[in-house]
Amino acid sequence: MVVYQDSHSQTVDLSDDEVDRIFRALADATRRDIVRRTLTEEATISHLADHYEMSFAAVQKHITVLEGAGLVSKHRSGRERRIRGNPEAVQKAQHLLNAYERIWQGRIDRLDALLADE
Amino acid sequence: MVVYQDSHSQTVDLSDDEVDRIFRALADATRRDIVRRTLTEEATISHLADHYEMSFAAVQKHITVLEGAGLVSKHRSGRERRIRGNPEAVQKAQHLLNAYERIWQGRIDRLDALLADE
DNA sequence: TTGATATACAACCATTTGGTTTCACGTTAG
DNA sequence: CTAACGTGAAACCAAATGGTTGTATATCAA
């Protein structure tokens, strides 16, 4: 379990599994590209699939992984499904990395205190 | 390939593979914990292994994954290897996520411009 | 010197991942 | 109505992942 404070000083909890899924989903160039594209504008699955040298079904699977991580969501529109990137999930990942940053900064602060003592 | 500008306006390039490895390495709770611990202070492999309910060899493998992603480095000290977290690799990941943030922000800006035109 | 400790590494195994092809089904266009 | 389209989902496969145990090697302590 991970706990951090967001920009409004709200405490946010993320299970290890949720964090695993977010980083796992981002660990693939095709999936990162899908997130990038759908953050700026929605796209259908087959439209996305046109951009990659793999089968439609493979792209579909990547989208399933991204959806499981909350990085994109699907919205029905007739026979199409529009895929929309979710900036909040990206922010979650950012907050997690910020926490590491603070941990590291904490070490520096303690080092400074140590040096100040001498 | 990913390109972003760091805090000193330096252009930084990361191969897709490198980005893959960083996020992949962070997609495991044990590995994230190792990074967290070694960012504040160095630790030997066996000392780290004491904290997890898995074999020494399994922890060793996790450290190899982290090392491959540049998130930690090993430093020989007699028969021990001290593991040290690398904040720069964490920052790389942060920069990548910041890029997504800017992409998303760009969409908002364009929307604002569109509304301003009306 | 000898025994314990710290690490490295290989071999093995089950599960997951990332891809494929194929088929089914609802929706839209003509 | 019928054909084409967009999607979902199953079955299958090779490779990667995450774990294990076992063995080898180097170093430290007594």
More confident residue, B113 or A56: A56
B75 is in which domain, residue-wise?
2-117
Residue of A nearest to B106 (CA): A40
**Partner-chain residue, chosen from A20, A98, A100, that has the shortest CB–CB distance to B39:** A100
**Structure token digits, residue A22:** 């977010």
Cross-chain residue pair B20–A36, CB shorter than 8 Å: no
Report d(CA A93, CA A19) in Å as an integer. Answer: 8
Angle separating helix axes B87-117 and B16-26, nearest 10 degrees: 110
Contact A102, B91 (CB under 8 A): no
User: Does B28 contact strand D, using a CB cutoff of 7 Å?
Assistant: yes
The CA distance from B99 to the nearest CA of chain A, in Å, is 9
Residue that wins the pLDDT comparison between B41 and A112: B41
DSSP-derived letter for residue B79 is T
Mean pLDDT, chain B, integer: 88
pLDDT single digits (tens) A5-57? 666 666 667 789 999 999 999 999 999 999 999 999 999 999 999 999 999 99
Number of structural domains (chain A) is: 1
The pLDDT, as a whole number, for residue B43 is: 96
Q: Which residues pair with A11 in a beta bridge?
A: A5
A4: pLDDT strictly greater than 70: no
Whether the CB of B23 is less than 7 Å away from nucleic strand D comes out as no
CATH code assigned at B109: 1.10.10.10
Q: Is the pLDDT of residue B5 over 70?
A: no
E runs forming strands in A2-86: 2-5, 11-14, 43-44, 72-77, 80-85
Q: Read off the pLDDT of each residue in B78-103 and give the average, rounded to a whole number.
A: 92
Interface of A with B in 52-111 (CB under 8 A): 85, 87, 90-91, 93-94, 97-98, 100-101, 103-104, 106-107
pLDDT digits (tens, 9 = 90+) for A47-105: 999 999 999 999 999 999 999 999 999 999 999 999 999 999 999 999 999 988 888 87
The 10 Å CB-count burial string (b at 16+, else e) for A51-74 is eeeeeeeebeebbebbeebbbbbb
Cα–Cα distance measured from residue A3 to residue A16, given in angstroms and rounded to the nearest whole number? 10
Q: Is residue B114 over pLDDT 70? A: no
Element containing residue B11 per DSSP (H, E): strand B11-14
